[in-house]
């Protein structure tokens, strides 16, 4: 099908454009990466002693998988901003008046964001190993963990693209994904939900990030995964589909 | 695809276009007919609906009602065929500021599937023609407003569109940048391209367009050549300034018409702009022994066109006939 091959070609063109922009203005990507690294160091060196004592084993091994997922989710802000800047600067309208594969603008953003997310997660994983993270996973475990991370990034990115299209200004676009970024804090990133107060605990157990983090944690450190993997896949499929439909609708309508 | 265009090949033909945002009516049923190979200017103040019209005709938004054929294709049935035939340059430079001038053009070439070699050839040609060859390897963020606008136009042209929409192409440009853009538009027309232009400046429409339509609050209030529109507002008016109120009073009595400004001690008298009428006016003032302290002839501007059109609704029919 020529339509499909054009869709792939045009998306690849857009991806090239986004990666080129990223290389030329890396400040945003670097600052995005800073937060998870700082959190990692803060929790390992400042809070880790006490938290680890509470958990009964090395805290870094509990913490690192959560922070790695957090690194992947932090791309949502820069994605929403990038999409919004395209829209407010008028180049999105130029693309929309061209006979190109309709949503290649958006898939280009998604592809570049997933690549960034996986790279960020990889970098944070590297830092974690440097400060003492000792995962039990073999190569297959690592690959599986990063496949899950790519899947999570894919889902969150579609939501972020929609948020970027809905926002009126880049400032709003950078604020809208905040709740998304805050969710991991109310999940099993730093401490097991079982140790939380009842209301929060209920929320932590049922929100999407807990199964996501538990799946990555299980793949990397050998903790029990159970049905977390299935729930993660369901959440990712649902979020990605909802984000895609929302983004496509907003894009075809001309944003806002 | 059958190209059954009407005999007088129309680049744009639209009828009954309507658009509302919420309960605000932006376009209240407009008809447009633009002959291929001509420059058509849509003239109107801010908020008249010019950009909305361009957005509809360039497939960015859908009209609530009405139909249109653009570049020979039905707007709602074949939007992609319309897109393949048109180029759009909006009010805000739609360039990627983090890419270089050349990269911006190559991005367009890639999206148009021109192939590397052809894309590079066209990009180099356009960069040279638009005086951007020296800065081709610099990111667009370093360009001046005029340079960004030229790059924007070059990006529109790389696909060799047959119909180009230019939405206020000179807004925000200095006089030199404005002149550059005008020159480019003339070159394009010489090459057989159809231009659909929007502007708030009568002078710009006057200078460039074969036909002008005046849009006001979502309705077309007049359409015709620049000369036909100017005839509607005749020659504007003459402003007479007097040394004191008694002079102003005397002139009001002697002439029996005109708009008084007590503060500035001026009287505005409509005129057709001819020397004869000016002579007659001065003759009547002389006969009344009135001393005129100052005199200015105001040529018609957009305000006058609008005032004339809203004051005499009949003239709309006149201009259309």
Q: pLDDT tens across A173-201, in order? A: 888 888 888 888 888 887 787 777 888 88
Per the structure, the complete domain to which residue B259 belongs is given by 235-299
Do B111 and A13 meet the contact criterion of CB atoms below 8 Å apart? yes
Let me know whether B214 and B258 are in one domain. no
Q: To the nearest 10°, the Cα dihedral for A91, A92, A94, A100?
A: 130
CA–CA distance, B288 with B305 (Å, rounded to integer)? 33
Let me know whether B20 and B98 are in one domain. yes
Q: Write down the residue that tokens 């949503």 correspond to.
A: A103
Say whether pLDDT at B189 is over 90.
Answer: no
Let me know whether B259 and B224 are in one domain. no
Q: Of B231, B252, B272, at which residue does a domain stop?
A: B231
CA–CA distance, B103 with A16 (Å, rounded to integer)? 11
Let me know whether B212 and B81 are in one domain. yes
Residue B5 maps to a domain: no
Number of domains in chain B: 2
pLDDT of residue A223: 85
Say whether pLDDT at A166 is over 70.
Answer: yes
Paired sense of beta strands B39-43 and B194-199, if any? parallel
Say whether residue B98 is in contact with chain A using an 8 A CB cutoff. Answer: yes
Q: To the nearest 10°, the Cα dihedral for A144, A146, A152, A153?
A: -150
Let me know whether B141 and B272 are in one domain. no
pLDDT of residue B310: 58
Token code pair at residue A31: 């600052």
Residue B130 maps to a domain: yes
Let me know whether B264 and B250 are in one domain. yes
CA–CA distance, B180 with B173 (Å, rounded to integer)? 10
pLDDT digits (tens, 9 = 90+) for B110-126: 999 999 999 999 999 99
Contact: B80, A97; criterion CB under 8 Å: no
Contact: B86, A93; criterion CB under 8 Å: no
Q: Examine the predicted complex and report whether its ipTM is higher than 0.95.
A: no
Do B88 and A97 meet the contact criterion of CB atoms below 8 Å apart? yes
Do A108 and A11 meet the contact criterion of CB atoms below 8 Å apart? yes
**Mean pLDDT value across residues B200-228:** 86
Higher pLDDT, A213 or A182: A213
pLDDT digits (tens, 9 = 90+) for B162-175: 999 999 888 877 88
Q: Of B214, B231, B248, at which residue does a domain stop?
A: B231
CA–CA distance, B168 with B153 (Å, rounded to integer)? 12
Say whether residue A9 is in contact with chain B using an 8 A CB cutoff. Answer: yes
Average pLDDT, chain B: 84
Among left, alpha and beta (phi > 0; psi -120 to 50; other), residue B296 is: beta
Higher pLDDT, B300 or B94: B94
Let me know whether B14 and B125 are in one domain. yes
Say whether pLDDT at B22 is over 90.
Answer: no
pLDDT digits (tens, 9 = 90+) for B125-160: 999 988 899 999 999 999 988 889 889 999 999 999
Q: What is the DSSP string of B184-232?
A: HHHHHHHTT-EEEEEES-HHHHHHH-SEEEEEETTEEEEEE-HHHHHHH
- Please state which of the ranges A188-202, A229-243, B33-47, B62-76 shows the lowest mean pLDDT: A188-202
Q: Which residues of B touch A254 (CB under 8 A)?
A: 55, 60-61
Q: Indicate the domain borders of chain A.
A: 2-253
Residue B305 maps to a domain: no
**Number of Cβ pairs < 8 A linking chain A and chain B:** 65
Contact: B59, A97; criterion CB under 8 Å: yes
Say whether pLDDT at B180 is over 70.
Answer: yes
3-state secondary structure of B95: coil
pTM (predicted TM-score): 0.79
Say whether pLDDT at B302 is over 70.
Answer: no
Residue B1 maps to a domain: no
- Please state which of the ranges A111-125, A181-195, B188-202 shows the lowest mean pLDDT: A181-195
pLDDT digits (tens, 9 = 90+) for A22-44: 888 877 777 778 888 888 888 88
pLDDT digits (tens, 9 = 90+) for A226-252: 888 899 999 999 999 999 999 999 998
Paired sense of beta strands B39-43 and B10-21, if any? unpaired
Residue B293 maps to a domain: yes
Let me know whether B259 and B131 are in one domain. no
Dihedral sign, CA of A241, A243, A245, A251?
negative
Say whether residue A97 is in contact with chain B using an 8 A CB cutoff. Answer: yes
Nearest by CB: A24 against B84, B87, B98: B98
CA–CA distance, B3 with B315 (Å, rounded to integer)? 37
Say whether residue B97 is in contact with chain A using an 8 A CB cutoff. Answer: yes
Residue B145 maps to a domain: yes
CA–CA distance, A132 with B133 (Å, rounded to integer)? 54
Considering only CA atoms, give the Rg of chain B.
Answer: 24
SS3 of chain A: helix, strand, coil, percent, to 5: 80, 0, 20
Domain harbouring B146, CATH code: 3.40.50.300
Report the Cα–Cα distance between both ends of chain B, in Å, rounded. 36
**Mean pLDDT value across residues A11-15:** 93
Say whether residue A10 is in contact with chain B using an 8 A CB cutoff. Answer: yes
CA–CA distance, B188 with B37 (Å, rounded to integer)? 10
Say whether residue B24 is in contact with chain A using an 8 A CB cutoff. Answer: no
**Mean pLDDT value across residues B53-72:** 92
Domain harbouring B262, CATH code: 3.30.70.100
Let me know whether B169 and B128 are in one domain. yes
**Mean pLDDT value across residues B32-45:** 91
3-state secondary structure of A8: helix
3-state secondary structure of A119: helix
CA–CA distance, B146 with B161 (Å, rounded to integer)? 22
Contact: B94, A94; criterion CB under 8 Å: yes
Contact: B96, A100; criterion CB under 8 Å: no
Let me know whether B239 and B205 are in one domain. no
Give the nearest chain A residue to B80 (CA atoms): A99
pLDDT of residue B301: 63
Q: How far are the Cα atoms of A199, B33, B246, B256 from residue A206, in angstroms, in the given order?
A: 11, 60, 88, 85
Considering only CA atoms, give the Rg of chain A.
Answer: 19
pLDDT tier at B288, thresholds 50, 70, 90: confident
Contact: B90, A94; criterion CB under 8 Å: yes
Which residue in A73, A72, A157 sits closest to A119, CA to CA?
A72
pLDDT tier at B313, thresholds 50, 70, 90: very low
Please give the share of chain A, as a percent, with pLDDT higher than 70.
97
CA–CA distance, A212 with A189 (Å, rounded to integer)? 10
pLDDT digits (tens, 9 = 90+) for A35-83: 888 888 888 887 877 777 777 678 888 888 999 998 888 888 889 999 9
Let me know whether B224 and B246 are in one domain. no
Q: Return the bridge partners of B28, or none.
A: B18
Let me know whether B206 and B104 are in one domain. yes
């Amino acid at each position: 099908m020529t339509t499909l091959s054009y869709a792939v070609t045009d998306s690849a063109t857009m991806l090239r454009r986004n990666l080129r922009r990223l290389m030329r203005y890396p400040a945003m990507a670097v600052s995005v990466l800073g937060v998870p690294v700082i959190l990692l160091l803060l929790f390992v060196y400042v809070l880790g002693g006490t938290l680890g004592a509470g958990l009964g084993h090395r805290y870094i091994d509990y913490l690192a998988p959560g922070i790695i997922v957090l690194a992947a989710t932090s791309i949502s802000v820069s994605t929403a901003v990038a999409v919004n800047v395209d829209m407010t600067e008028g180049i999105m309208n130029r693309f929309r008046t061209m006979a190109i594969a309709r949503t290649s603008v958006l898939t280009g953003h998604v592809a570049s964001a997933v690549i960034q997310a996986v790279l960020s997660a990889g970098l944070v994983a590297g830092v974690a190993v440097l400060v003492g993270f000792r995962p039990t996973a073999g190569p297959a475990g690592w690959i599986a963990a990063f496949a899950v991370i790519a899947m999570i990034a894919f889902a969150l990115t579609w939501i972020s693209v929609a948020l970027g299209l809905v926002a009126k200004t880049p400032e709003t676009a950078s604020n809208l994904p905040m709740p998304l970024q805050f969710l991991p804090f109310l999940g099993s990133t730093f401490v097991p939900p079982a140790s939380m107060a009842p209301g929060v605990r209920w929320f932590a157990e049922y929100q999407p990030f807990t199964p996501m983090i538990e799946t990555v944690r299980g793949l990397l450190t050998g903790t029990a995964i159970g049905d977390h993997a299935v729930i993660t896949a369901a959440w990712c499929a649902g979020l990605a589909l909802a984000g895609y439909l929302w983004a496509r609708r907003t894009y075809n309508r001309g944003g806002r | 695809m059958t190209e059954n265009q009407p005999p007088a090949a129309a680049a744009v033909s639209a009828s009954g276009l309507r658009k509302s945002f919420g309960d605000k009516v932006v376009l209240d049923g407009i008809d447009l007919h633009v002959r291929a190979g001509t420059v058509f200017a849509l003239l109107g103040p801010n908020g008249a609906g010019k950009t909305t019209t361009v957005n509809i005709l360039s497939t960015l938004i859908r009209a609530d009602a009405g139909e249109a054929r653009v570049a020979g294709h039905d707007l709602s049935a074949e939007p992609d065929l319309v897109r393949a035939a048109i180029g759009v340059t909006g009010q805000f430079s739609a360039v990627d500021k983090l890419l270089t001038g050349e990269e911006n053009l190559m991005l367009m070439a890639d999206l148009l599937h021109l192939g590397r070699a052809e894309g590079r050839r066209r990009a180099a040609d356009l960069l040279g023609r638009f005086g951007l060859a020296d800065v081709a390897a610099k990111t667009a963020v370093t360009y001046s407003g005029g340079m960004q606008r030229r790059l924007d136009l070059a990006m529109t042209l790389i696909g060799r569109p047959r119909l180009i929409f230019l939405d206020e192409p000179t807004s925000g440009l200095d006089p030199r940048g404005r002149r550059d853009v005008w020159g480019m538009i003339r070159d394009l027309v010489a090459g057989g391209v159809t231009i659909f232009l929007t502007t708030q400046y009568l002078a710009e429409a006057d200078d460039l367009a074969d036909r002008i339509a005046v849009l006001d609050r979502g309705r077309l209030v007049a359409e015709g050549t620049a000369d036909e529109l100017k005839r509607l507002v005749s020659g504007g008016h003459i402003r007479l300034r007097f040394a004191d109120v008694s002079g102003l009073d005397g002139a009001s009595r002697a002439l029996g018409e005109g708009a008084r400004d007590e503060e500035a001690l001026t009287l505005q008298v409509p005129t057709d702009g001819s020397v004869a009428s000016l002579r007659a006016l001065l003759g009547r003032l002389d006969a009344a022994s009135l001393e005129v302290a100052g005199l200015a002839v105001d040529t018609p501007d957009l305000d006058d066109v609008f005032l004339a059109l809203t004051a005499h609704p009949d003239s709309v029919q006149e201009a259309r006939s």
